């Protein structure tokens, strides 16, 4: 759309019209310094619609019009003669009302506007107006005012905080000063520095330390608070308080010491009682230790007798081993016969290897047959009659249901239902491509037409059916649904508005808390 400049008072001032392609047409006639020489020339120079001075004219419906006044989509050809006539005319600066005294030929006006000091331009930092007609838009100022605006008033100019020396935008300086750690604050107690006038100033980050350790006006507790002195006073009065109440503090500390001695006596008595109890337990443990030692001695004697019996059994076992060695010699003779059998087994293994090679050759032939088979059934049709039980509970729990996998040609597919999708009360039905045994032989991405039919067990007339097919938009929007699967299954692709939860629970579709969904898929040629 065309953009019209406005002067400082907000009135529309059609000095020129700027189109989206960057061209300029429709200069005001009253900017011309010399008058038009003839009516014919005036007709050529002015647009019949906007009455602006033409730069490139064209014929439309029998009249001369500028490019802005011609409807979009209409092809037109400029009249070059008009450009030659206009370019030599003397014209004043389009923003002369702002104070510019420039004048020259029309052909040089655009070059002048690129450097005119009175021409309104956008703030280079991009600050926006807070009120007026341009509220919310980037601020416009005369070109000569831009340096002063950037230096003094632009809210996006960069300033340096005089306290922490960090760089902050102009519009953010006041909020920054409210949190700046180095900003000087008056002491909350309004204390002063001795020998100086005025309240003490402390950096924001040091206020808590100042109050805790330094401020003479801060209320503090008496050091003998733990002994019973409950006086609170300003820090500067603490020395006087300690001198005046020295005898009281002394008496409080002595009283506290006596109380602690009494408590220590009680604690010592408890410790002595615990020590007596521990001594009795030690005596009992020693008696148990003597009893266990006797039991251990008896156990050792029994172990020695058991070891003697084991040695006697070992001697008998040695004699048996000798007898077995004699028998092994006879077994070795039999092993020679086994070796002969092993030779026969090696021969059999060679035959098995030959058979495996033949099987491998047959397998490669089978793969070739599968490729030929795929070329004949690449446009095959598959369907699945899917009975879904427990429909009410699935809708309430918003469960995701998957049907049994089925093949369409050599592609392995699976149905998927999302119940109460996004709490909208709709049922989402989709087709998921599943990893199959022939994926490396197939063409990807898969293109197909799919049909979902919700069967009515009363009358097929009421079957609910939706048919769609994969488009180029689907390939761009859902690439992960149509490519070769890398996981167990791809993302589903289908319809988000098959039928609502309320409709699917009607008696004509839902019988004994079950529904039957027929899924049909027809493979299509690549797009």
Under DSSP, the state recorded for 517 is E
pLDDT for 56 equals: 58
Cα gap 370→440, rounded to integer Å: 11
Instruction: Kindly report the backbone phi and psi dihedral angles of residue 252, in degrees, each rounded to the nearest multiple of 5, phi listed first.
Output: -65, -40
Contact 469, 448 (CB under 8 A): yes
Cα gap 421→496, rounded to integer Å: 8
Cα gap 252→262, rounded to integer Å: 16
pLDDT for 211 equals: 87
pLDDT for 8 equals: 36
| Sequence ranges of the chain with CATH classification 2.60.210.10 | 381-523
pTM of the model: 0.36
Ranges of the chain whose pLDDT falls below 70:
1-46, 51-62, 64, 67-68, 73, 75-87, 195, 365-380, 421-422, 497
Contact 55, 86 (CB under 8 A): yes
pLDDT for 58 equals: 66
Element (H, E) at 333: helix 246-377
Cα gap 476→480, rounded to integer Å: 10
Q: 127 has which bridge partners? A: none
Cα gap 429→416, rounded to integer Å: 6
Largest CA distance in the chain: 146
Cα gap 325→327, rounded to integer Å: 5
Q: How far is CA 338 from CA 333, 334, 348, in A?
A: 9, 7, 15
CATH class of 381-523: mainly beta
Within 10 Å of residue 434's Cβ, how many Cβ atoms?
A: 19
Instruction: Kindly report the backbone phi and psi dihedral angles of residue 164, in degrees, each rounded to the nearest multiple of 5, phi listed first.
Output: -110, -5
Cα gap 251→253, rounded to integer Å: 6
What is the DSSP secondary-structure string of 186-223?
E-TT--B-TTS-SB-EEEGGGHHHHHHHT-TTSEEE-T
pLDDT for 516 equals: 93
In CATH, what number does 17-118 get?
3.30.40.10
Would you call the peptide bond into 445 cis, given omega within 30 degrees of 0 as the criterion?
yes
Cα gap 22→55, rounded to integer Å: 14
| Sequence ranges of the chain with CATH classification 3.30.40.10 | 17-118
Instruction: Kindly report the backbone phi and psi dihedral angles of residue 322, in degrees, each rounded to the nearest multiple of 5, phi listed first.
Output: -60, -40
Sheet containing 514-523: give its strands across: 381-389, 514-523, 448-454, 464-469
Cα gap 386→393, rounded to integer Å: 18
Within 10 Å of residue 45's Cβ, how many Cβ atoms?
A: 21
């Amino acid at each position: 759309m065309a953009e019209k400049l406005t002067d400082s008072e907000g009135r529309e001032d059609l000095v020129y019209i700027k189109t989206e392609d960057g061209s300029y047409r429709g200069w005001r006639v009253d900017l011309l310094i010399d008058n038009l020489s003839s009516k014919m020339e005036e007709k050529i120079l002015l647009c019949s619609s906007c009455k602006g001075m033409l730069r490139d004219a064209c014929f439309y419906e029998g009249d001369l019009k500028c490019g802005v006044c011609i409807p979009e989509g209409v092809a037109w050809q400029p009249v070059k003669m008009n450009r030659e006539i206009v370019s030599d005319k003397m014209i004043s600066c389009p923003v002369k009302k702002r104070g510019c005294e420039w004048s020259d030929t029309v052909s040089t006006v655009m070059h002048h506007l690129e450097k005119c000091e009175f021409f309104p331009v956008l703030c280079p930092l991009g600050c926006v107006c807070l009120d007026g007609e341009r509220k919310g838009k980037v601020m416009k100022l005369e070109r000569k005012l831009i340096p002063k605006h950037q230096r003094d008033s632009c809210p996006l100019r960069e300033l340096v905080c005089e306290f922490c020396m960090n760089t902050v935008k102009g519009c953010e300086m006041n909020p920054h000063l409210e949190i700046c750690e180095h900003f000087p604050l008056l002491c909350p107690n309004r204390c002063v520095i001795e020998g100086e006038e005025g309240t003490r100033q402390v950096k924001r980050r040091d206020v808590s330390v100042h109050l805790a350790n330094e401020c003479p006006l801060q209320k503090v507790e008496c050091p003998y608070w733990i002994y019973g002195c409950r006086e609170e006073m300003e820090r500067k009065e603490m020395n006087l308080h300690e001198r005046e109440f020295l005898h009281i503090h002394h008496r409080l500390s002595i009283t506290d010491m006596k109380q602690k001695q009494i408590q220590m006596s009680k604690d010592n008595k408890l410790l002595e009682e615990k020590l007596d109890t521990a001594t009795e337990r030690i005596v009992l443990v020693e008696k148990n230790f003597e009893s266990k030692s006797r039991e251990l001695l008896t156990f050792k004697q029994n172990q020695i007798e058991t070891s003697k019996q084991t040695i006697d059994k070992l001697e008998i076992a040695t004699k048996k081993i000798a007898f077995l060695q004699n028998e092994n010699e006879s077994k070795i003779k039999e092993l020679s016969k086994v070796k002969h059998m092993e030779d026969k087994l090696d021969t059999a293994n060679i035959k098995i290897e030959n058979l495996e090679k033949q099987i491998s050759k047959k397998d490669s032939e089978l793969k070739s047959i599968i490729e030929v088979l795929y070329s004949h059934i690449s446009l095959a049709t598959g369907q699945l009659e899917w009975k879904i039980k427990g429909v009410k509970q699935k809708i309430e729990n918003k469960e995701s249901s998957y049907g049994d996998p089925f093949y369409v040609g050599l592609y392995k597919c699976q149905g998927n239902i999302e119940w109460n999708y996004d709490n909208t009360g709709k049922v989402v039905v989709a087709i998921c491509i599943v990893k199959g045994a022939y994926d490396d032989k197939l063409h990807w991405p898969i293109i197909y037409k799919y049909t979902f039919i919700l069967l009515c067990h009363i009358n097929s007339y009421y079957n609910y059916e939706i048919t769609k097919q994969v488009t180029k938009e689907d390939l761009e929007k859902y690439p992960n649904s149509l490519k070769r699967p890398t996981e167990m299954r791809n993302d589903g692709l289908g319809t988000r508005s098959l039928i609502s939860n309320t409709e699917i629970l009607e008696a004509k579709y839902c019988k004994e808390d079950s529904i039957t969904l027929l899924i049909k898929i027809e493979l299509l040629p690549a797009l």
